[in-house]
Each structure stands twice: as C-alpha cells, then as structure tokens.
Amino acid sequence: MSVLVYIENWDGKLKKLSYELASYGAQLAEKLQLPVKAVSLGKVDETILKSVGKYGIAEVLSDTNEAYNTLDNCAIAKALFAAAQKTNASIVVMANNNLGKAVSPRLAVKMKAGLVSAVQGLPISTEPFVVKKMVFTSKAFAQITIKSANKILTLAPNSFGLAEKNTDTTITAFDAGLSADDFATTVVSSNKVTGKVLLQDAEIVVSGGRGMKAADNWGQLEELAEILGAGTACSRPVSDEGWRPHAEHVGQTGKIIAPNLYFAFGISGAIQHLGGVSSSKVIVAVNKDPEAPIFEAADYGIVGDVFKVLPQFIEAVKELKA
C-alpha cells in the first residue's frame, strides 16, 4: 500500500499547491508508515519534477502526454486510477481546486474510495480513519470517518503549508495507457489570467463590496493587492452588478476561501458572504456603518470611509516593504 499525491502543473511548471500537497502526502504517509509517491500528468521537465523531493516525495510517476492539457475530467481520472494501481495506492491526495473537484469523484468511484473534500490538516486518527472539515459553509466543523479501505482526500490550497523533508527523488516514466478517444474535451479558446495572484492560491485577499460604489473605484484596491501580492475578490452585489467578474465572488454561491489575511472594504457582511470567508485566519473590515455585521466576524476594524483608509494602507504597506 502507499499514499499517492497528484501534483499539478501548468505550462510545464509545477503549481505552488503541488509542493503543499507533497508536504501533506509525505506527513500523512509517515503517520501511516506507508511509502509516498506522486504522479504528474503532462509535459514537465524531470529537473522540475525532482523539486518535490524537498518535501518528502521519493518517486514521481510522469506521463508526459500533452493531451492532458485539455483537462478532460474522464481522461485525468482514468490516468490517476492507472497510477494508483501501479503504486498500489490506498490513499490519493489532490487539491480541492477546480480540477481536483472535477476528477476526485470519478476516481473515487473507480477505486471505490471514500472521498472527503477540503479536509483540514492530517487525520485526527488513522484507525478508524477520521478527518475534519468545515460544513454548513464554514458555520461548523465535522469529523468524518472514512470506512472504505481506499480513501481520497482533497486539500484546500494554503490550508496546510509547506513542510521540508529532503529526499532523493527518482522520476519514473509512466504511460497511463490512454488513447485519443479518452479525451473528449475540445478546447476552443483559453483565457489565462497572467501576472495576477489567483484567488484560490492567495495567502492575502483584498475584497470590495457595494461600499466601493462603482466599478471605476477599484484602482486603489488593486494597487493595495498588488503591493501585498494579494488576490482580489468581491461580494455578491458587486459581481451581480458586473463591476467585477463572477470568478471573484466569494461567499455563498461563489467561492469559499480561507486566506491568512482577508481585507473587506465596504462589505456589510451578510451571512452568505461570511460563509465564504469566515475561515480566514485574520479578517480586517473597513466600513462606514459601525453596525455592519462584518465587524462581528472581523478581528480588526475601522469605521470609516474606504477611500480615506485605502491610501493610508497603501503608504503603510510600502513603508513596511521598504
């Protein structure tokens, strides 16, 4: 038996979350006294794949078929299943991002594995196998027992962090045995976000609500995000108005995020919004209404005008970084 970690790449580079998953997989394997291996799908140089050795991965199976770039759910699940069989994996670990959410359920059926998404930390116990996760959109925690012999865990980006454990890594060429027929997704066009921190990857998130008043007022908020290396987000009315893209909406029906630091500018803090952000480690709220519910969820608050506070924040962060 072994633990298998699915490390993702984009444009030939490993994603940041892959190192976090490697760290998690290695610690989980140590706890279970099992070997840990990783699988990479798509064209990634061996030197890059070897970098996961720093986080405790001894072997990486690498299938360099470029067709994985279409992110076809069926094909990737099939390839992961082949890798799980080859490594005799009883536990597969992957990211709780768009791709992980898409392929983990398919893999769970192939492996007849109990699946828990967005687990928090290592298992509470391994016999029985109990993990913890947030439920009711962050309003409560649950402990879940996985009863099946095979298990799949997905991990929210940034929820675990990196843990170094230098290991010599061997790269093993791997052919999952897929044919052209396995890839049914035709990509007509891709629009890649470049030069911006992705919301799901961001350790700091700067978010704006209706209190920002208009789409044109986002300049300072974006400037703050840029100098902090933060992702940008918004509340539901803002995306509904079309001031910001839907992909930035955090809260109920949007994204559920848990950064280390969340700035809420002009967000009143409806319960649906709080559900999406209340797992953030620290919440800072700026709102002109002292009665706004956001202050009940926040750790630090300023009752005031966002347009007076933003320039002060920007200056102070610049000083701090200098």
Partner 1 sequence: MKILVLIGNVPDTTTKIKFNADHTAFDASGVQWIINPWDELALTRALELKEAYGAKVEKIVVANVGRSETEATLRKALAVGADEAIRIDADPLDAFFVASQLTAVAADYDLILAGIENADYNGTAVGGMLAEMLDRKSVSAVSGIDLEDDLLKISREIDGGSQQLTMSLPLLAVVQKGIAKEPRIPAMRGIMMARKKPLNVIAAADAEALTAFDHFELPPAKAACKMVEEDQAASLIRILHEEAKVL
Member of 206, 232, 249, 267 binding partner 1 (CB under 8 A): 249
Question: 266: which 2 tokens?
Answer: 């002009």
Residue 85 found at the interface with partner 1 (CB under 8 A): no
- For 178, phi and psi rounded to 5 degrees? -85, 150
Residues 272, 253 contacting (CB under 8 angstroms)? yes
Member of 120, 148, 167, 170 binding partner 1 (CB under 8 A): 148
Our CB check for partner 1 shows the closer of 53 and 251 to be 251
Residue 305 found at the interface with partner 1 (CB under 8 A): yes
Residue 241 found at the interface with partner 1 (CB under 8 A): no
Rounded-to-integer distance, Cα 6 and Cα 154, Å: 10
Residue 88 found at the interface with partner 1 (CB under 8 A): no
Stretch that binds partner 1, among 37-45, 84-92, 164-172, 184-192 (CB under 8 A): 184-192
Q: Which of residues 265-304 bind partner 1 (CB under 8 A)?
A: 271-272, 275, 278, 281-282, 284-286, 295-304
Size of the site for partner 1 (CB under 8 A): 100
* Site track for partner 1 across 207-236, x = CB under 8 A: ---------------------x--------
Rounded-to-integer distance, Cα 322 and Cα 317, Å: 8
Residues 3, 123 contacting (CB under 8 angstroms)? no
Instruction: Return the H-helix or E-strand segment holding 155.
Output: strand 150-155
**Least distance to partner 1 from the beta carbon of 101, Å?**
5
Instruction: Return the H-helix or E-strand segment holding 61.
Output: strand 59-63
Rounded-to-integer distance, Cα 84 and Cα 126, Å: 20
Member of 5, 108, 153, 155 binding partner 1 (CB under 8 A): 108
- Residues with Cβ within 8 Å of 308's Cβ and at least 6 positions away in sequence, in order, are none
Rounded-to-integer distance, Cα 114 and Cα 85, Å: 16
Member of 126, 213, 253, 289 binding partner 1 (CB under 8 A): 253
